[in-house]
């Protein structure tokens, strides 16, 4: 029986525009700020542990990351982080929130083409206000039929989103850069999935690619997405 794709879900950060590069630069800035307290490897490891611990409380995004940097600084300074360090961390967080949105190559052309044939749904994690601001700043908001900013991406999330805004997961494609969040749970929900790697990936989002899955493909560029979807039968 043939499959008719009606809906295309797209991740936002590091799929449509740059994001992880900015986080990495801020990580480096944070390590330099605390250079006298621990080696860079120890600082990075401690920050990663604090971030992971705080995800269930703060969720994803710059604000939660900023709070985790402050908490890490307090731990590394035995509860007495200098006010100058806290000010620098807060300044770094504000700069991240104000950073201009830079779409990745080929994204605007790809979305314009897809929007002529399919219902596009933005499915992203992160802070609600910041993600809405980034979408507005990208100039691509009008191409989406719906926007879902979720606390977590699992199979249930994709099943609900594709039922709410489409004709179900079986007639949907999810495209993103995270194997853990964009690909594996979408496949579990019954959708097709296209992985478009970004040069940098947050450790929390790493996972092995599925094997022997004919509903999955890894693309060199998002520009290859329309052609692949058109071949799904």
Residue 203's pLDDT is 67
Q: 144: Cβ–Cβ under 8 A, 6 or more apart, which residues?
A: 115, 120, 121, 122, 135
Cβ burial, residue 167 (10 Å; 0-12/13-18/19+): middle
| Whether residue 185 has pLDDT greater than 70 | yes
Residue 1's pLDDT is 41
Report the Cα 142 to chain-centroid distance in Å.
20
Residue 127's pLDDT is 86
Q: What percent of the chain has pLDDT over 70?
A: 96
Specify the pairing of strand 172-176 against strand 7-10. parallel
The label of the residue with tokens 């599925």 reads: 210
Provide the whole-model pTM: 0.88
What the chain holds in terms of domains, given with CATH numbers, is: 7-17+101-230 (3.40.50.1000), 20-98 (1.10.150.240)
Q: What percent of the chain has pLDDT over 90?
A: 79
Counting every residue written for the chain, the total comes to 233
Interatomic CA distance for residues 150 and 162, integer angstroms: 13
14-35: per-residue pLDDT in tens? 999 998 888 899 999 999 999 9
């Amino acid at each position: 029986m043939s499959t008719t794709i009606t809906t295309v879900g797209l991740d936002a950060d590091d799929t449509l525009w740059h994001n992880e590069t900015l986080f990495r630069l801020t990580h480096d800035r944070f390590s330099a700020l605390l250079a006298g307290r621990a080696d860079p490897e120890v600082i990075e490891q401690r920050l990663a542990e604090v971030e992971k611990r705080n995800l269930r409380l703060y969720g994803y995004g710059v604000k939660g990351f900023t709070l985790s940097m402050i908490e890490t600084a307090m731990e590394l300074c035995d509860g007495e982080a200098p006010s100058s360090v806290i000010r620098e961390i807060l300044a770094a967080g504000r700069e991240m929130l104000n950073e201009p949105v830079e779409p990745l190559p080929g994204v605007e052309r790809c979305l314009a083409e897809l929007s002529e044939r399919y219902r596009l749904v933005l499915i992203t994690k992160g802070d609600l206000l910041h993600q809405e601001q980034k979408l507005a700043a990208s100039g691509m908001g009008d191409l989406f039929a719906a926007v879902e900013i979720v606390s977590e991406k699992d199979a249930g999330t994709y099943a609900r989103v594709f039922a709410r805004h489409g004709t179900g997961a079986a007639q949907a494609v999810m495209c993103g850069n995270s194997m853990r969040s964009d690909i594996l749970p979408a496949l579990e929900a019954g959708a097709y999935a296209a992985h478009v790697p970004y040069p940098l990936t947050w450790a929390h989002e790493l996972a092995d690619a599925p094997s022997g899955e004919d509903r999955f493909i890894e693309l060199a560029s998002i520009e290859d997405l329309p052609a692949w979807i058109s071949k799904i039968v």
